[in-house]
Structure 1
Amino acid sequence: MKKSWLVLMLALILVIITACGNSGSSKGNSEGEKGSDAKQDTVVVWTYPVHGKYEDDLKQLLADFKQKHPNINVETEVLSWAEGPEKFTLALNAGNPPDLYFHSVDGSYVDTGLVLPLDKYLTPEIKDDYLPGTLELGQIKGTQYGLPLYQFQWAWGGNKRILEEAGIDWQKIQKEGWTWSEFEAAASKLMKKLPDGSTQYPLVTDGTSLDFIEMLTRNNNMPDVLNEAGEFQWNDGRILDTLTFIQDLLKKGYMPAETAALAPAKRTEMFYAGQAAIISKAIPYYDVMIQNRNKDIDSGTVQGEKIDFVLLPVPHNDNAPAQTTMGGEGYVAFKQKKDKGEEHAKNTFLVMEALSGAQAGNSANELVLPFVRKSQADLFAGKGLGNKVNIEAAETMAKNISKPVVLNLDINDAAKMKQFKEQVVKPNMQALYSGEKTPQEIADDFIQKGKQILGK
């Protein structure tokens, strides 16, 4: 009896020990998974050298973020402006984009179904921090897909010495703007032969991008290829007038005959060398870039003539109002085909907010661009890096803001417009610069291809 009782007790103890052992093992695995997988998350960020010190800014912003959110790791990659867009497009098409990408919002991104809508993550405090009209710069048809870091602004830029030597009242132009005919009158005074036999051109632009034609068409009552209602704009006399204006500048020698072959870097080189009085396009950041270049010339590390930079508005058609190309650039959030879940989406937004908050306003400050948030404007008040006259000129131009049409376009229309620009506008502009096609031939091609691609 006692033996049986003892055997029973030993068996019971063995069961208890085994159960406790299994329970302890199960609990340990659960906590281990929670600690390594559930709690730790990695957010991938692809960005660009937004300004000269942006990588330093990024390191500090992420170090501060890590202290507040030790469970979120952030992997960053700084892409080159030349190769980054293609790398991102390939990743997006493969269904594996980064969680955050530095860009303006784009309807073609939304069309992939991989862009992350942000509205449910925006708190009242975040919304209230944005200055009027700026949060909308990260929206497509009213849905928030991005958080702008600053308002970009396109303009022209002039060499103060050359303008003044030709008797051009650049201060009046900054305050009042100028028309196409007024620009041509100024251009006739700005063109001359230099001592080395080369030509000083009134204007230089590159032949590879669409910035030039887009700025001029906006200043001829055309907001873009399409307007906000999706109606085709580049199919009437306005586009013909714009193309003819450009052709006249080339025929009169106001722009280099080799414009079609000029890369952006060569355009800038000509402006720095005093071979061009005005450069298109120029952003307010040129003010800071050229100030730094002047310091390098003083120190002997760079050879060349120092330049006093003047920010200038784009001239407008005599019968059209002045328009300044502006919009928002910042971070856009994405998910992947293999969705990482809601917790990861929330973490992605936390990183996005950290890279767009008050301290991140240094980007706008460095670039001499308008802030998008009240907290940014307050933090950097009185710390502007640009010359006062150029800051005031940028503020004056901002009163004539022309926001990107794509923010209000149907996704399909936005994608078709992008296709039209790449497949039709780019080669035609090359043909115009090289003299291979007339403005009328190009305008006719726009109408024909517009029907084919845009269905308009």
Structure 2
Amino acid sequence: MKKKGWLTLLASLMLVFTAACGGSGGAKTPEGGSGTTSEGNGEAAPKQDTVVVWTYPVHGKYEDELKEHVADLKEKYPHITVQTEVLSWAEGPKKFDVALNAGNPPDLYFHAVDGAYVDTGLALELSPYITDEIKNDYLPGTLELGQIQGKQYGLPLYQSLWAWGGNKKILEEAGIDWKAIQENGWTWTEFKAAAEKLTKKLPNGNTQYALVTDGTSLDFMEMLTRSNGMPDVLNDKGEFQWNDERILDTMTFVSDLMKAGHLPAETAAITPAKRMDLFYAEEAAVVSKAIPYYDVMLQNRAKDIDSGTVQGAKIEFVLLPVPHNDGAERKTSMFGEGYVAFKQKKDKGEEHAKNTFLIMEGLSGAKAGNSANELVLPFVRKSQAEFYEGKGLGTESTIKAAEIFANFKEIPVTLNLDADASGNQKKFKEQVVKPNIQALFSGEKTPEQIAQDFKDKGKQILGQ
């Protein structure tokens, strides 16, 4: 073929190639694939991507709030599809653990950071993506709540606060000075004295218990042990704590409450929902655990009672500190909850990791501070506090009490433990603590037997 013919053929092929690429010249995407230009400005449009988010009903309106966040994010990042699933508090953790162990966790999961997640190698370290602007927006000491040993794996949405909650009317009828308790705390001896006044038979033949908790979770025991000088099963140096007289004293305190009838005999079988049913029915003066959000929840319930959609007595909520052992310091269990980022065993690449962080930040920014506002919890970001200034939902007494309780903050030891220690602590709780707490509530084991089992199993699992 003559030279002129070759030039004609080459020009034709170039025209065909240009037409096939929409006249863009086949601009490369960040991952090296073909893309299209954005609005004719010569820049490559981002590649379509999907970010999977597993979360929980963080507060009563969170599912609607989440839809708004997703709509805002779609407008800001049209190339990213956010796929959300709202899990139940009861079954969600199990589902997540199965997915994580299979190497296929969601991109974002609502939870506190955990060293056990890091141990899998699938937790996404955020330092390459988090900007100075984001860091500076966090209030002092709050961004660290999303770190494990100084590395950032999560963005806290709020500072969670665990406490107990009381029925104001029942407390006052029994002569309990709840305002002084909020201010000064109370000891185990003082709580036992109050429990004697709060436990009684009701006119309908039912019992009003001083205290109700569920028998399916560990938070009740974790709060009491922190209030007896034990930050957790391990301390932040990885040293075993639940192996001396302190854990025996704690188990004995609970056992004494059970024997005195201050806790229901069927506590081992009580679910979180049943626990609240007893509180709503005014068959329990105090409930564990409680968070400041219960104030808002009971305000809304009172409105439903007034409208006739809910039957029952209206309850005024009192936020109460967890009582501490007589010789121990008062402590409040506090930690950061928010979104934790993950990659999968079959890694989706750096561009997907960047997109995951964009969505994570979008679900954690100023507008997302509504979760802290709804839950009557401390904000973690300056922009959140400014956005919701003057819009607080809790009563003045609850807000003030939460501020007082925060002065006695005990942060999770898991933020400082290495992955092995954190994983072993979790294993100890699942395999040893849970069945023993059930046995304590049911009366199948004595405090002394449980304390000895902790020592024995601690050697096996924790090596201490």
TM-score class, shorter-chain normalisation, is: over 0.9
The runs of 5 or more residues in structure 1 that have no matched partner are 1-6
Q: Does 1:366 align with 2:374?
A: yes
Equivalent of residue 448 in structure 1, options 428, 448, 456:
456
1:188 aligns to what SS in structure 2? helix
| Aligned 1:259-408 pairs, distance under 5 A | 259-408=267-416
* Structure 1 partner of 2:13: 19
Distance 1:380 1:13, change over 3 A: closer
The code of the aligned residue for 2:13 comes to A
Distance in 2 of aligned mates of 1:201 and 1:233: 31
Distance in 2 of aligned mates of 1:37 and 1:128: 30
Distance in 1 of aligned mates of 2:314 and 2:295: 12
Q: Does 1:170 align with 2:170?
A: no
| Aligned 1:135-174 pairs, distance under 5 A | 135-174=143-182
* Structure 2 partner of 1:200: 208
- Answer yes or no: is the 8 Å Cα contact 2:161–2:333 preserved in 1: yes
The code of the aligned residue for 1:141 comes to Q
Distance in 2 of aligned mates of 1:16 and 1:131: 62
The code of the aligned residue for 2:81 comes to N
CA RMSD of aligned residues (A): 1.7
Deviations 1:111-134 (A, max 9, x none): 111110001212111111111110
Distance in 2 of aligned mates of 1:14 and 1:63: 51
2:160 aligns to what SS in structure 1? strand
Deviation at 1:11, TM superposition (A): 3.6
Deviations 1:370-428 (A, max 9, x none): 11001111111121111110110011000000000101001101000001001101111
Deviation at 1:61, TM superposition (A): 1.9
* Percent of pairs with identical residues: 70
> TM-score, normalization: structure 2?
0.94
Deviation at 1:67, TM superposition (A): 2.4
> TM-score, normalization: structure 1?
0.95
Structure with bigger gyration radius: 1
- Answer yes or no: is the 8 Å Cα contact 2:51–2:355 preserved in 1: yes
* Structure 1 partner of 2:130: 122
Q: Does 1:34 align with 2:35?
A: yes
Distance in 2 of aligned mates of 1:328 and 1:51: 16
Distance 1:254 1:16, change over 3 A: closer
Distance in 2 of aligned mates of 1:296 and 1:416: 45
The code of the aligned residue for 1:287 comes to D
The code of the aligned residue for 1:19 comes to L
The code of the aligned residue for 1:24 comes to T
Distance in 1 of aligned mates of 2:328 and 2:303: 40
Deviation at 1:12, TM superposition (A): 4.5
Equivalent of residue 96 in structure 2, options 88, 113, 138:
88
Distance in 2 of aligned mates of 1:103 and 1:392: 26
Higher helix share: 1
1:34 aligns to what SS in structure 2? coil
Distance 1:243 1:111, change over 3 A: same
Distance in 2 of aligned mates of 1:308 and 1:12: 89
Deviations 1:312-342 (A, max 9, x none): 0000001000000000000001111121111
Deviation at 1:8, TM superposition (A): 4.8
Aligned residues: 450
